[in-house]
Chain A
Amino acid sequence: MTDGALYRTKIHCYFLDQVIVTILFILKLRIINVVVLNQTRVIHPLPNEKNYHIFYQMLAGLSREERTRLNLEGFTLTNLRYLQNGDTRQDEQEDSARFQAWKACLGILGIPFLDVVRVLAAVLLLGNIQFVDSQNLEVDVSGESELNAVASLLGVPAAALFRGLTTRTHNARGGQLVKSVCDANMSNMTRDSLAKALYCRTVATIVRRANSLKRFFFLSLYVFS
C-alpha cells in the first residue's frame, strides 16, 4: 500500500470504554495498539456495568453445535457467576451480529477462532466453580462438572487443574519445599486469578498479532470493551 492509499482509507474510530488507556499509533501504514485492561472487571463487574462485551456477544452468537462443544449448553447471562451480578440487559441480535464480525476479524488476523473461543468459554465456566471448606481440612468443589468442563477446554487433566487451584508450594527456611492445601477462600481467589490471567493474556496475544501485520489494520477493540 502506498501513502496515497492511507488517506483514502476510512479511519474508523471505535469508542472504547472500560479500558484504562488505549493508545493507537498510526505509524505511516502500521497501527500499533496498546491496551491496558481493567482485570477485575473479568471476575467482578460492578452492578450497573457489563463485563467485557465479547462474553455477551459470544453467548448470543454461538451456534448450538458450537455451544455444546464448548460445554456452554444451559448457561446464560443469569447463571454465569462472572456475568450475573453485572448489567444483564442484552440486545441479542446486535450482539450476535457483532460476534460474527469479530469472528471475521480473527480470521483476517490469522488467529484460530476456536482456540480463542475455548479460552473465553473456560473463563466463563471458571466463575461457576465454587470451592467450599470441607470437614477434613480439605476443600471440596461445588460445580464439579464445570471443573471438568474447564479442564477439558484448557486441555489439562481435571485432577491437575484441581491441584493447581488448591495447593500451594512454599519455600520454607532451609531450602525445603513444603506443599500445603489452601482453604476455600484462597482457592476461590486462585480461580479468579486464573480467569484474569487467561483473559488478559488472550487479549495481549491478539493485540500482538494485529501489531505484527504489515497491513493497515485497525483492530476492532470494541469487543474488548
Chain B
Amino acid sequence: MAALNNAVRHATDGFIGILDMFGFEEPHLAQLEHLCINLCAETMQHFYNTHIFKSSVESCRDEGIICDTEVDYVDNVPCIDLISSLRTGLLSMLDTECSVRGNAESYVAKIKVQHRSSQRLEQPFDPRLFTIRHFAGRVEYDSTDFLDTNRDVVSDDLVSVFYKHTCNFGFATHLFGTELKALYSQESVPRGMSFRIAPTSHTDLLNGDEPVSTLTQDFHTRLDNLLRTLVHARPHFVRCIRSNSTENPGTYDRGTVVRQIRALQVLETVNLMASGFPHRMRFKQFTSRYRMLAPFRMLRRCEEKALDDCKLILDFAMEQPSELDSSVTLSWAPGKRHIFLSEGIRQHLENMRTNIRNRSAVLIQAAYRGWQLRRLGTIRRTRKDILLPSSNKHILVNPTIGLF
C-alpha cells in the first residue's frame, strides 16, 4: 500500500496497475481452465525470475561486477514451452484437434507422442488423463471436456430465442446484442451458426460459420498483452502464501507453507536482496537523486566526473550510522555505466535523503516564519515610539522589547 500511495503521489502520466490473479491451482482432476490458470502462474513466475534474478545477474556480468552471492533459481521455461509453444504446445495441439473435430483420446495420444521426451509431461496411462510437473507441484488434468470447453460455442438456435420478437426482457436481449445483430443481418434464422459463449471484443465474430478464436487463443492473447504491459512497468511483487490447503481458518500447516516458499523462491529472493546487487542506476541518475548527501562544494557536478561524485556520495553515506538492522549489508560496486547497490544501502540512502529533505523543509519554514514575525514586530515598534513622549518621563522605553 505504501508503494502504491507513493507511486500515486508522483504519477503525472501513465498508470498504476494492480494485478490480482489466482495463483497456482491443483484440484483433483483439473479442467482446461485450470491449465490456463496454471500457465498464467508459470508465466508470472518466469516474469518474476527474469525480473528479480536473471536481469540482476546478467547486468552485473555485463558491467564486470563480481557478485559473490550465488543466485540459484529454477528456470521454468520448459514447462511454459510445453503448454504454450506455437504449433507443438499443448494448447496449440488442442486447437488443431478442435479444428479437425477430433476427440479427447486422440488428443492425449498425440501429445504423448509429441512430448515423449519431455521431463515435464508425465506419460499418462489413462487415455484421457495427463499430468504436468509445474513449478509448484504436479497436477493431473482430465481432458474429457477439453475440446468442448475450448470451442466454447452456443448455437444460433438458442441465441435466436433472445431476439426481441420472442423475448420481452430487454436485458437478456442486450446480453446477446452483438450476436443477434449479426444473426438477423440475413433473413434465414437460424442457419447453423455457432457463437462464442464468452463475449468477445472481436469486431469479426465469425470466420465463415465458426467463431474466429477459441477459448485458449483468447486467453493466450490476454496473457501476452499483460506481459507486454508488465515488461514496460516498474513492478512491485506481493507474494501471498496460504496457511493450509483446506481453507480452514486459524490452521497453519507447515508442509503447505514450506512448499509454497520453496516454489516461489522466497529464500533465494531474500538472499539476493540481502547481499547481492539488485539495484542499479546510471551515474547521472544516482547523483541527481542523492547529491544532497554530500557537501555541495565537494561535488564536481559535471558529466565526466559523475562516477567520482557517486563515490563521494557513497563514502559520506557509509560514514553515517544506518537505521537498519546490523545484519543487513551495505555494499555497492561501480560498473561501466551503472552504479550497483545492495538493497541495504539503497534503503540507507533513501532514509538519509528523506531525513535531509525533512530537515531542510523545517529550516526553510523556520527561517521564513522568523523573518515574517520580525517584520511585523518592527512595524509595531515604530508605532509605539510615536505614542511614548506624552507619557511619564521616568519610564525607560526599551525599543527592542516593544513593551507598553
27 examples of A-B residue contacts, CB within 8 angstroms? A11-B5, A15-B20, A16-B20, A21-B22, A22-B20, A23-B17, A23-B18, A23-B226, A23-B229, A24-B17, A26-B15, A27-B15, A37-B198, A40-B31, A48-B247, A112-B171, A119-B171, A119-B175, A154-B172, A156-B162, A156-B166, A164-B158, A169-B155, A177-B192, A193-B153, A194-B158, A205-B174
Q: Give chain A's interface residue range (CB within 8 Å of chain B).
A: 35 or more
CA distance A202 to B175 in the complex (A): 7
Q: Given that A6-B8, A26-B15, A48-B246 are contacting pairs, would A177 and B158 also be in contact in the complex, using a CB cutoff of 8 Å?
A: no
CA distance A119 to B168 in the complex (A): 13
| Main secondary structure on B side of the interface with A | mixed
Decide: B157 and A169 in contact? CB cutoff 8 A: yes
Per-residue CB proximity of A32-47 to B under 8 Å, as 1/0?
A: 0010111111000011
User: In this complex, what residue of A is CB-closest to B9?
Assistant: A7
CA distance A126 to B60 in the complex (A): 60
Decide: A154 and B21 in contact? CB cutoff 8 A: no
CA distance A134 to B144 in the complex (A): 26
Name the A residues within 8 Å of B8 (CB-CB): 6-7, 26
Per-residue CB proximity of B169-187 to A under 8 Å, as 1/0?
A: 1111011100000000000
| Main secondary structure on A side of the interface with B | mixed
Decide: B155 and A177 in contact? CB cutoff 8 A: no
B residues lining the A interface (CB < 8 Å): 1, 4-5, 8-9, 11, 15-22, 27-28, 31-33, 36-37, 40, 145, 148-149, 152-158, 160-162, 166-172, 174-176, 188, 190-192, 197-199, 209, 219, 222-223, 226, 229, 240, 246-247
CA distance A41 to B37 in the complex (A): 13
Q: Does A190 contact B (CB under 8 A)?
A: yes
Which of B153, B156, B192, B246 neighbours the largest number of chain A CB atoms within 10 Å of its CB?
B192
Q: Does A138 contact B (CB under 8 A)?
A: no
Within 8 A of B (CB), among A149-167: 153-157, 160-161, 163-165, 167
Partner of B15, one of A13, A15, A25, A201: A25
Which of A7, A15, A118, A197 neighbours the largest number of chain B CB atoms within 10 Å of its CB?
A197
Which of B149, B161, B167 neighbours the largest number of chain A CB atoms within 10 Å of its CB?
B161
Q: Given that A21-B19, A27-B15 are contacting pairs, would A39 and B197 also be in contact in the complex, using a CB cutoff of 8 Å?
A: yes
Q: Does A18 contact B (CB under 8 A)?
A: yes
Partner of B37, one of A7, A38, A170, A201: A38
Decide: A39 and B166 in contact? CB cutoff 8 A: no
